[in-house]
Structure 1
């Protein structure tokens, strides 16, 4: 095989894994470290559930939790790629999957619409710079940002050469993903602003200024939009009035997308800390420190917070700290159920579907873990970084890679 490896799974152990990446085939180990005897409650998978994966981490709150079930190794013990779709650049955008079509951006400057069943191109839309932004597909329209500084609205059922319904130009690159809620598109720009744009006609309703670049997607829940900035702060902004409700300052840049669940907002910071704050007030519930930056976004169920970091690990945390906040003092640091160590940094934001967690790694792999125990179900090697978040629809995992391809992973 000329020193290369098959793009196949390594089930339950990566110790024999041959990982395709910039350094070629690598060897290493992946271990699960139990912290205590407690495990989070997880729902049973529902293989009959069919979902539309409309946006980054499944919903506008970025919870990363969806119904259904993902692929599990069959009698052959393998997960394989149903198809691989090659683009002209790295794919760091996270796919959306709606009505049998996969929508994803590429560093080659294009947004692609791909048949989920066959992997054939339905159409592509060219922008003037890289598309690392993850598309949002709502009510028949695809919304996506580009490094050219624009936000585009494109008809989802377009022909092979679609025209944009509208285009809004900002004064900086739009690397983050749009979040669509109640007819409004919320998106950040490297011009330091968060934009609220009418989904119908592209009218800019308001702009909210921070002190530095906004690189990642906001979360929207209960009339509030939450967004992090490179100025180190997490902002909560009223969706109607544009007024700031509260601001949480951290000690470094926030390049993680916030997640809203259980009455709290969860976000990582480059100060190596994961924060849980009251969604309505910004009061810190608890913090959890790791040995590296946290640029991935948490996935949050009713019983656990899952997040990866530059410590090469995925952590499963208890959403409740041991004590409550008092005055200006946050609660005790969160305890955790388990941690799973991989070979490289975890930029990819995990998703939880049924009883399994799915996440990418800079070593080029996509891994499925037990959401309850952290035990590895399977691992699949691509040819480049996996920085985007997977989408899991009808038993198939769709994910992009820095090797320039989009993969559809299923049971062998």
Structure 2
């Protein structure tokens, strides 16, 4: 986490966009200078690694995850799965995993070692499953199964309806990477330097590929190839065998997850750069240098690459050339963003922002005091975002906010 206060970078005015025509801006060749390769990660490091998916619903709600374990307040019965009023659910520890919502159920892991399943409409606990370690990564839910990794070295598969363990696979060290499930195979990285492919039904190892360092990035699978970041490289692996097709040496850690569009891999790293690599060969097409590390996974829509940096800014680049179209400077580091309906949503330590995707102009900002924000999620006209707070002493606290996507109006 950067401790720097807000301020302009690259001569951008704080709190406002700078728009440049295509062909303007600077697409650098990358910087050889950058922060040292990070040591073993702490809790906050993985707030930005988690990937959240949509909460089904259309009304404003707030999910609170704070110090003491309590059941939510009773809610009236309703056949409508959407929340009828705000509700809160309290967990007795911090939460670094962010929610995944599937078929009206909220799934998330916790620092208290539990996986939770909550009714998305009422906040009622459906089940919990206790593991043997802290759960930093976010779950993936596919085919009625919840997949999640933990600091106890295990990758778990749980029945999504009951929480019953279907299987667990033990790696050689902690797991921070979130799983990706494609074609009946679970792909996940480990702190033991391996990328694993596990049978989704049985947990049997199909293959493991050893990299040169920790694998914090969650894998992306496109056209039979697994793309992931590592401690010093971007890797492309054959999805069926794990055979390395290519590796792009990056010098600094690549902790953001790659995005693959149109035969190009877009990825950020600790060296302050976002790179575009040829998906077939790993050859660098261009690199754009920001003012700090890039841990935000890029989003590519309509020939434009959107991402955030620890330099406090959100960027929009021409996907073909890497030239800057616009940048908007927020008041905090930017770990995440979401692009929906021509609007870029992002969060920082002071506000949630909605920016016009074409110009970078701020549409609205919602202020909620917090230390860390999760990746925003939009569904049905509602933007969901998680805020990690600190109370007196070391007691953690976390809230999930639901905001009106058009206006930024949130719970009172």
TM class, shorter-length = 0.7 to 0.9
Distance 1:221 1:406 in 2: 34
Q: Indicate if the aligned counterparts of 2:256 and 2:295 stay in contact, CA closer than 8 A.
A: yes
Taking structure 1 as reference, are residues 129 and 381 closer, same or farther at Cα in structure 2, changes over 3 Å only? farther
Taking structure 1 as reference, are residues 355 and 82 closer, same or farther at Cα in structure 2, changes over 3 Å only? farther
User: Which runs of 4 or more aligned residues in structure 1 lie more than 6 Å from their structure 2 counterparts after TM superposition?
Assistant: 26-29, 68-72
Instruction: Indicate whether 1:396 and 2:382 are aligned.
Output: yes
Taking structure 1 as reference, are residues 357 and 338 closer, same or farther at Cα in structure 2, changes over 3 Å only? same
User: Residue by residue, what CA displacement relative to the aligned partner does 1:146-188 show, whole Å, maximum 9, x if unpaired?
Assistant: 1221111111111xxx321111111111111001111100001
Instruction: Indicate whether 1:357 and 2:358 are aligned.
Output: no
User: Residue by residue, what CA displacement relative to the aligned partner does 1:206-245 show, whole Å, maximum 9, x if unpaired?
Assistant: 1000111111211111000011111x10000001121111
Distance 1:263 1:57 in 2: 25
Distance 1:277 1:176 in 2: 22
Distance 1:398 1:104 in 2: 14
Q: TM-score by structure 2 length? A: 0.76
Q: Indicate if the aligned counterparts of 1:358 and 1:390 stay in contact, CA closer than 8 A.
A: yes
Q: 2:27 maps to which residue?
A: none
Alignment of 1:12-411 (within 5 A): 31-37=15-21, 56=51, 82-158=86-162, 162-230=163-231, 232-321=232-321, 334-347=322-335, 349-361=336-348, 363-403=349-389, 404-411=397-404
- What's the CA shift for 1:69? 12
Q: 1:16 maps to which residue?
A: none
Q: Greater shift after overlay, 27-36 or 100-109?
A: 27-36
Q: Greater shift after overlay, 27-36 or 181-190?
A: 27-36
In angstroms, what is the RMSD of aligned CA positions?
2.8
RCO comparison, higher one (Cα < 8 Å, 6+) = 1
**Structure 1: runs of 5 or more not aligned:** 1-22, 40-54, 59-65, 73-80, 322-333
Taking structure 1 as reference, are residues 267 and 393 closer, same or farther at Cα in structure 2, changes over 3 Å only? same
Q: Indicate if the aligned counterparts of 2:353 and 2:366 stay in contact, CA closer than 8 A.
A: yes
- Across the two proteins, how many residue pairs are aligned to each other? 339
Distance 2:59 2:284 in 1: 37
Q: Indicate if the aligned counterparts of 2:373 and 2:385 stay in contact, CA closer than 8 A.
A: no
Taking structure 1 as reference, are residues 27 and 245 closer, same or farther at Cα in structure 2, changes over 3 Å only? closer
Taking structure 1 as reference, are residues 84 and 260 closer, same or farther at Cα in structure 2, changes over 3 Å only? farther
Q: Indicate if the aligned counterparts of 2:22 and 2:318 stay in contact, CA closer than 8 A.
A: no
- What's the CA shift for 1:84? 4.2
Distance 1:111 1:295 in 2: 25
Distance 1:285 1:345 in 2: 27
Q: 2:43 maps to which residue?
A: none
Distance 1:369 1:90 in 2: 30
Distance 1:341 1:257 in 2: 23
Q: Indicate if the aligned counterparts of 2:307 and 2:337 stay in contact, CA closer than 8 A.
A: yes
- What's the CA shift for 1:367? 2.2
Instruction: Specify the SS of the correspondent of 2:165.
Output: coil
**Structure 2: runs of 5 or more not aligned:** 24-49, 61-84, 390-396
Q: Indicate if the aligned counterparts of 1:219 and 1:226 stay in contact, CA closer than 8 A.
A: yes
Taking structure 1 as reference, are residues 195 and 214 closer, same or farther at Cα in structure 2, changes over 3 Å only? same
- What's the CA shift for 1:312? 0.8
Q: Indicate if the aligned counterparts of 1:383 and 1:402 stay in contact, CA closer than 8 A.
A: no
